[in-house]
Amino acid sequence: MMFEDLHENNRLQLAIGLLIGLCFGGFLYIGGVTEYNVILGQLLLTDFTVIKVMLVAVVVGMIGVYAMKSRGMVELHPKPGSIGSTVIGGIIFGMGFAVLGYCPGTVAGAVGHGALDALFGGVTGILVGSGLFAAAYPTLDEKVLSKGVFKSMTIPDALKINPWYVVIPFCILIAAVLAGLEYFGL
């Protein structure tokens, strides 16, 4: 892995985090995805901006990150998951996504461009929800989160194949979805 000394430098890392965040916030705003109307438009299937931004980020990110991984420059950090955690948590998240109209990243960007519902409703609600989860965690971890743990971390691991045999088809598939959305004027 490259830049290991830099990874250990905590103060510099905070500055890098802030700088990456600044650009991230700028891109989220330019893409339009810090708007409630755009996010709800996606969930109501009338505006496909959110899916476009995400799919393009995934394709560009995937090619670069796997290219660096193939050269031993970076390490992957896939998250473990389970039915109890990923699926049940995902259902709750989706309900929150539709009711709030922002997610944890875009809500911060929305506050940045003056959305006061994002600040006084969204951020405070997310803080309360996170606190409730922390309080319930020991019980949830034992009874729910540990149910149906996924056996593999990544799709190439599960298939036991060279990751590029997955990366390339995924990129082609995503490009086809994007071309389809543009073709139909969505």
114 by Cβ neighbours in 10 Å (0-12 / 13-18 / 19+) ranks as exposed
Residue type, 132: L
As a whole number of angstroms, the distance between CA 133 and CA 155 comes to 29
Query: Which distant-in-sequence residues (6+ apart) come within 8 Å of 102 by Cβ?
Result: 34, 36, 39, 110, 115, 118, 122
| Near another protein in 111-130, by CB under 8 A | 111-118, 120-130
Nearer residue to another protein within complex by CB, 21 or 180? 21
Which residue among 72, 160, 166, 168 contacts another protein (CB under 8 A)?
Answer: 166
* Contacting another protein within 38-77 (CB under 8 A): 40-41, 43-45, 49, 52-62, 64-65, 68, 73-77
Instruction: Report if residue 177 touches another protein, rule: CB under 8 A.
Output: no
Q: Does residue 7 belong to the site contacting another protein (CB under 8 A)?
A: yes
Window 83-112: residues binding another protein (CB under 8 A): 85-112
Q: Across the strands, what pairs with 149?
A: 82
Residues contacting another protein: total by CB under 8 A? 127
Answer yes or no whether residue 148 interacts with another protein by CB under 8 A: no
